[in-house]
Amino acid sequence: MELRQVRWAALLVILAITGCVQTPGAYQRAGTPAMDTAPAREAPSSTESARQRLGDMADPARTDTALSWASYYLVNDRAREASEVLDLVRGGAQSMDQRFRWLQLSAQALLGQHKPQQALDLLNDYQGDIRSLPADQQARLALLRADALALNDNLMESLKERVEIQPRLGRSDRAYNQEMTWQALLRVPRNQLQQEAEGASGDLLGWLELADIYRDAQAGLDDQVARMNDWQRRWPQHPAQAQLPETLNAMRRAAQERPARVAVLLPESGPLSYAGNALHDGLMAGYYLARDNGDYTPELRFYDTADADAAQVYQQAVMDGAQFVIGPLAKDQVAAIDALGTPPVPTLALNYLDDGGNGLYQFGLAPEDEARQVARDGSAAGAVRAGVLYPNSEWGYRVAEAFSNAWQSQGGSIVVSRTYADDDIGGSVKAFLDEARGNLGSSGGKEFRPRGPEDMAFVFLVANADQGRQVKPALNYHYARYLPVHSTSYIYGGVPDPRRDQDLDRVQFVDMPWVLNPDQRLKDMATANWPDGHGRYTRLFAMGVDAFRLQARLPVLNNAPGSTLSGATGVLHLDGKRVVRELQWATFEGGLPSPLLTP
């Protein structure tokens, strides 16, 4: 049986890079992988019973029965039992068809247990057998190899494998493989795709060029649609022509449905005025970039929400003809607008509600989302055990809880979770490490460092820059210099300060592209128009840039599952009505942030 659940696991792993996990049903239009005609027989409740019953059989019935039971276990999410049953007939007298089914199910069972390297080893070890199989069966095993490469975080090799085997696949497998090809193209770093394109040819080059059109972070919709039309003229026989990715179709529709008038609700005075000004400037930067690119630009009209009834301001903006609303910023004002019910026009609030809301799109810089990414990426890197150290505050608790819940949902365990007091950081850190040593039964001497999966792989530190500059030296002092520390963007002030931030050396954290590796055109635009910068509000400036781009591109994210937008604040995608960011990794070296690919 061609197990759909196992196949979709590879896609979900790819999408986990942005947190962009959808249910398999969301992708049904991409096609369902082909199913073997042999039905799965209901298997014994335990593998020990299966072992005993198989022992009373002779081949070929014994092997056929084991294969059918393995299919049953896989369909019922019992991949480990499937592997155990398949191992019982590993050396059996198998026909060519049985050999194919055994290899196929064995690889699927390993993928179902999240063991992609073992699946690759299996397929490599049996290359001689695979080469003797019919071409269609070879292609289906090659498709499993592509899935394993994706699960093993080798997206570029997986992509090349997919492009090579596409012509040899059956119709439903082609649809699945093409969707996976596009998803990989959305996840591989754009500069890597561009480097690969320099030496590529044929269908692979066509895919790389098509992805580059979509991935151009600062291109306008009109420019992208024009380039896509040109691509279609130049690649009339490319496989993507038969099934253009839905993301691109949605982009074409979005270019025809953009709002002509956009209302922006921001505070122009009061305690939130500095934040409002940074967002205002970012929105204008996005507007200027679009205008300079020759792209369509809507009319922007700004409304002051300081000391105002946000609901009344919102209703006035709609009465004035707004076809899209950006804002407000304050959480209570967002709640007031949400209480009005279903929005009459698409509305992008600049904060998050706790309960999901009544239809508002919501966009912000939530540290909880960053904590969840740290958990996902740490798990993807193979870490199993982590510690959590956070300030004794409501904010610290929220961020720590977001990490812990995400970490445990990935199968990770928390060795120790403790607060620290700002007036006794040294004592708090010592107590944290003492508890960790006790829980781990550590006998590795004074120096605290991870040596294997049984140790604490890293500490998730919730801290701002001032707190981090005290906690990391305290960890160093208490013999934990080499214990990895992961954190959110809050640990970096956003402006280079090597003298003070040298105390943060070796700390790894996530942050937005605008801070770590800004787009040069946007950077030049910001420097020319706002030479003094925005200081600690620089991330809100980037949020304003992305808010402007989202008013035109939300239909793409909303209507094409798995689609993303490469923005100044990160790679953006929708989770329901919530805009979620995927950030870049960096580490402090010599007091300065240095970008990383992974933690």
pLDDT tens digits along 494-516:
999 999 999 999 999 999 999 99
Are 13 and 130 found together in one domain?
yes
- Domains: count for the chain: 4
Categorize the per-residue pLDDT at 12 as very low, low, confident or very high, splitting at 50, 70 and 90.
low
Q: What is the pLDDT of residues 562-583, one digit of tens each?
A: 788 989 999 999 999 999 999 9
Are 398 and 345 found together in one domain?
no
Query: Is 551 inside a domain boundary?
Result: no
Are 537 and 446 found together in one domain?
no
Distance CA 569, CA 579 (A): 11
Q: Is the pLDDT of residue 462 over 50?
A: yes
Report pLDDT for 445.
60
Angstrom distances, CA of residue 61 to CA of 43, 181, 523 = 15, 39, 69
Q: Is the pLDDT of residue 34 over 50?
A: no
Average pLDDT score over residue span 271-281:
97
Report pLDDT for 380.
81
CATH of the domain at 496: 3.40.50.2300
Tokens of 527: 């420097």
H or E element at residue 149: helix 135-151
Report pLDDT for 294.
86
Distance CA 159, CA 72 (A): 30
Q: Is the pLDDT of residue 326 over 90?
A: yes
Q: Which of 390, 581, 568, 412 is nearest to 491 (CA)?
A: 390
Are 460 and 530 found together in one domain?
no
**Cβ partners under 8 Å of residue 422, min gap 6:** 391, 392, 467
Distance CA 212, CA 194 (A): 7
Tokens of 323: 């076809």
Average pLDDT, the chain: 89
Report pLDDT for 542.
98
Are 320 and 384 found together in one domain?
no
Q: Is the pLDDT of residue 597 over 80?
A: no
Q: Which of 66, 68, 5, 7 is nearest to 36 (CA)?
A: 68
Query: Is 249 inside a domain boundary?
Result: no
- Tokens 């993507």 identify what position? 240
Are 44 and 171 found together in one domain?
yes
Are 461 and 387 found together in one domain?
yes
Query: Is 90 inside a domain boundary?
Result: yes
Query: Is 252 inside a domain boundary?
Result: no
Query: Is 553 inside a domain boundary?
Result: no
Categorize the per-residue pLDDT at 424 as very low, low, confident or very high, splitting at 50, 70 and 90.
very high
Average pLDDT score over residue span 246-253:
90
Are 445 and 592 found together in one domain?
yes
Q: What is this structure's pTM?
A: 0.81
Q: What is the pLDDT of residues 364-400, one digit of tens each?
A: 999 999 999 999 999 888 899 999 999 999 999 999 9
Q: Is the pLDDT of residue 37 over 70?
A: no
Q: Are 421 and 438 in contact (CB under 8 A)?
A: no
Q: How deeply is 30 buried, as exposed, middle or buried, from its count of CB atoms within 10 A (0-12, 13-18, 19+)? A: buried
Boundaries of domain holding 199: 191-244
Report pLDDT for 358.
86
Categorize the per-residue pLDDT at 52 as very low, low, confident or very high, splitting at 50, 70 and 90.
confident
Are 163 and 232 found together in one domain?
no
Q: Is the pLDDT of residue 39 over 50?
A: no
Q: Is the pLDDT of residue 525 over 70?
A: yes
Are 198 and 337 found together in one domain?
no
Cis check: omega of the bond before 189, within 30 degrees of 0: no
H or E element at residue 291: helix 273-292
Q: What is the pLDDT of residues 132-185, one digit of tens each?
A: 999 999 999 999 999 999 988 889 999 999 999 999 998 889 999 999 999 899
Distance CA 498, CA 465 (A): 12
